[in-house]
Chains A and B, each alone.
Chain A
């Protein structure tokens, strides 16, 4: 699915990723943990194609294509999804309209006809109920005056509507209350299947109790310094980054 090889990335002349490698296969869930400022969000932005990030070396293959060659919207339509750590507020654009536009963009890309209004409404109702999102919310402007947790839920709603092949969740758990964390995790688990993959960025082992990862990676200073299975997250919880990095 995704193959990152020795990726080096800088922003404003400052090197952030210093030779990062990571391979994610179809059907796998990977967790990425690491101290503040280690480059987790940078990695997710580079993968999604945000401008101003300078790739200085390495390669990224996504479904056997060179990901770095694609435009942002092309990457998304090819099945990449990033749930943002800080979702943007878009005044004047209704949330449900945004969702429909995104779904139709993908369908057009795949030469499928547009979703008719009724089909879309049914799908939206079902998915937002699963995530316990109030329908009134969807009539409001996208993320505008949403609480921190509501924004995160909105990202997961987009994820479940767009049904990507690879979803990157950048600290989706931060800001969620206990119930919301469970509901969002259930949403992710429901979306999970043998054909898609997840990269879950988090600071807290608790999320991984709900979303059981196949692999856990620790990033420090722009490199993956340790990889293992779920037990690595437990170890980390006990010892903290500093000790782990030394080990």
Chain B
């Protein structure tokens, strides 16, 4: 296989081809020469060491959050529609099967949930891949839980078809994971809204890739945070504005300590017909010690001339003057640091709209920070 040719291929391809290639070639080409794997962890992590550090925090959502979710439906309540990959559909990642063990994709019509909040616990569906459809313009809130130690070793694929004018909020939580690689693909049709919040904590090796495909008058909000990592935490996002008048706003905040590494690579692509695109991207990292690392890499690729796009990236440490102010009011440095960590990611937590989702994310955050 030819690396140069592969890179060229990525450059020329639209999202779907790109995605297919990426999946197909992922293993042989986990190579830093490929731009979106620039910072990816290539060597195996010594899990024995990581295991010693892994917090034994039991956050079994269903047991601990009964009160919050008494009105929520979990996926077990709904019958699965099994289907084989349709090899002729132009937008399906046809060669997924070469990488993912189970070639069966499960399709869900999220409209059937008929509840304000719905939970999908991926640990109940080991190694399965999903296609979700949502078409209601009433906002639904979905929680995706990715949390099992020592389980799936192969990548997973979750695809969302968000139909015209549909409105969805998603809280994606990855925690206590030894190893996880998940691809999220969102195909947003005209005038659809997606608000995705990613909460990642206490993971050894995690990589999430988020692909957004936007039609016109869409809005996309992605807010992510990760903290208490034990190894390498990777997030890659590719937001593709294909049609005019859509907006995307992405904020990623990482807190890194104990020698962990966190990477963020985000790309905004604006097609030449996607005029009046409003794109914003910000990645910030808070380093708590000198041995931890953070790589943030924003990318813009813009072919339209009437657009508003901005991006930024910062890496900082706890402000000693802030600590002093807390101390001068009798608050210990330990507690002050905790509060300042929470303050740092508050913007991400504030992006969650649904009250139940807010409560659950607050619980997760306070368990770890």
Q: Measuring CB to CB, which residues of chain A are less than 8 angstroms from any residue of chain B?
A: 48-51, 71-73, 76-77, 82, 84, 87-88, 90-93, 98, 101-102, 105-106, 109, 158, 162
A105/B335 contact (C-beta < 8 A), A90-B322, A93-B343 known: yes
In the complex, what residue of chain A is closest to B349 when comparing beta carbons? A92
Task: Decide: B332 and A92 in contact? CB cutoff 8 A.
Answer: no
Q: How far is the CA of A158 from the CA of B325 in the complex (A)?
A: 12
B225 to chain A, nearest CB (A): 12
Contact partner of A102 (CB less than 8 A), chosen from B329, B333, B346, is B329
Q: How far is the CA of A162 from the CA of B329 in the complex (A)?
A: 8
Q: How far is the CA of A134 from the CA of B342 in the complex (A)?
A: 26
Q: How far is the CA of A71 from the CA of B336 in the complex (A)?
A: 14
Contact partner of A93 (CB less than 8 A), chosen from B324, B327, B332, B340, is B340
A88/B322 contact (C-beta < 8 A), A72-B328, A93-B340 known: yes
Which B residues are CB-close (under 8 A) to A92?
A: 340, 342-344, 346-347
B321 at the interface (CB under 8 A from A): yes
B68 at the interface (CB under 8 A from A): no
Q: How far is the CA of A90 from the CA of B323 in the complex (A)?
A: 10
Main SS class of interface, B: helix
B345 to chain A, nearest CB (A): 8
B339 at the interface (CB under 8 A from A): yes
Contact partner of A88 (CB less than 8 A), chosen from B325, B332, B346, is B325
Task: Decide: A101 and B328 in contact? CB cutoff 8 A.
Answer: no
B28 at the interface (CB under 8 A from A): no
Contact partner of B331 (CB less than 8 A), chosen from A50, A88, A101, is A101
B330 at the interface (CB under 8 A from A): yes
Q: Which of B325, B329, B335 has the most C-beta atoms of chain A within 10 angstroms of its own C-beta?
A: B329
Q: How far is the CA of A168 from the CA of B63 in the complex (A)?
A: 51
B325 to chain A, nearest CB (A): 4
Which A residues are CB-close (under 8 A) to B344?
A: 92
Contact partner of A71 (CB less than 8 A), chosen from B321, B325, B327, B346, is B327
Task: Decide: A82 and B328 in contact? CB cutoff 8 A.
Answer: yes
- Chain B positions 308-335 with a Cβ under 8 Å from a chain A Cβ: 320-322, 324-333, 335
Which A residues are CB-close (under 8 A) to B329?
A: 73, 76, 98, 102, 105, 158, 162
Which B residues are CB-close (under 8 A) to A76?
A: 327-330
Please give the number of chain B residues whose Cβ is less than 8 angstroms from any Cβ of chain A in the complex: 21
Which A residues are CB-close (under 8 A) to B324?
A: 50-51, 72, 88
Q: How far is the CA of A31 from the CA of B285 in the complex (A)?
A: 45
Q: How far is the CA of A106 from the CA of B330 in the complex (A)?
A: 6
In the complex, what residue of chain A is closest to B331 when comparing beta carbons? A105
Which A residues are CB-close (under 8 A) to B339?
A: 93, 101
- Told that A105-B332, A158-B329 touch, could you supply 4 new A-B pairs with CB distance under 8 A? A88-B321, A92-B343, A102-B330, A162-B330
Q: How far is the CA of A73 from the CA of B337 in the complex (A)?
A: 13
In the complex, what residue of chain B is closest to A73 when comparing beta carbons? B327
In the complex, what residue of chain B is closest to A101 when comparing beta carbons? B331
A73/B330 contact (C-beta < 8 A), A88-B322, A90-B325, A101-B335 known: yes
Q: How far is the CA of A150 from the CA of B330 in the complex (A)?
A: 22
A102 to chain B, nearest CB (A): 4
24 A-B pairs (CB sep. < 8 Å)? A49-B327, A50-B328, A51-B320, A72-B324, A72-B327, A72-B328, A73-B330, A73-B332, A73-B333, A76-B330, A77-B330, A82-B328, A90-B325, A90-B343, A92-B347, A93-B339, A93-B340, A93-B343, A101-B339, A105-B331, A105-B332, A106-B330, A158-B329, A162-B329
Which A residues are CB-close (under 8 A) to B335?
A: 101, 105
Q: How far is the CA of A91 from the CA of B339 in the complex (A)?
A: 11
Which B residues are CB-close (under 8 A) to A50?
A: 324, 328
Which B residues are CB-close (under 8 A) to A98?
A: 329
Q: How far is the CA of A203 from the CA of B329 in the complex (A)?
A: 25
Q: Which of A51, A73, A98 has the most C-beta atoms of chain B within 10 angstroms of its own C-beta?
A: A73
Which B residues are CB-close (under 8 A) to A109?
A: 330
| Those 10 A-B pairs whose CB atoms lie nearest each other, nearest first | A92-B343, A72-B327, A76-B330, A102-B329, A105-B330, A77-B330, A88-B325, A92-B346, A73-B327, A93-B343
Q: How far is the CA of A218 from the CA of B327 in the complex (A)?
A: 29
Which B residues are CB-close (under 8 A) to A82?
A: 328
Which A residues are CB-close (under 8 A) to B326?
A: 73
Which B residues are CB-close (under 8 A) to A158?
A: 329
Which B residues are CB-close (under 8 A) to A71?
A: 327
Which B residues are CB-close (under 8 A) to A73?
A: 326-333
Which A residues are CB-close (under 8 A) to B327?
A: 49, 71-73, 76
Q: How far is the CA of A88 from the CA of B328 in the complex (A)?
A: 11
Q: How far is the CA of A73 from the CA of B324 in the complex (A)?
A: 9
Q: How far is the CA of A71 from the CA of B332 in the complex (A)?
A: 9
A80 to chain B, nearest CB (A): 9
Q: How far is the CA of A84 from the CA of B326 in the complex (A)?
A: 12
Which B residues are CB-close (under 8 A) to A77?
A: 330
Which B residues are CB-close (under 8 A) to A90?
A: 322, 325, 340, 343
Which B residues are CB-close (under 8 A) to A51?
A: 320, 324
Q: How far is the CA of A50 from the CA of B325 in the complex (A)?
A: 9
B334 to chain A, nearest CB (A): 10
In the complex, what residue of chain A is closest to B333 when comparing beta carbons? A73
Q: Which of A51, A82, A98, A162 has the most C-beta atoms of chain B within 10 angstroms of its own C-beta?
A: A98
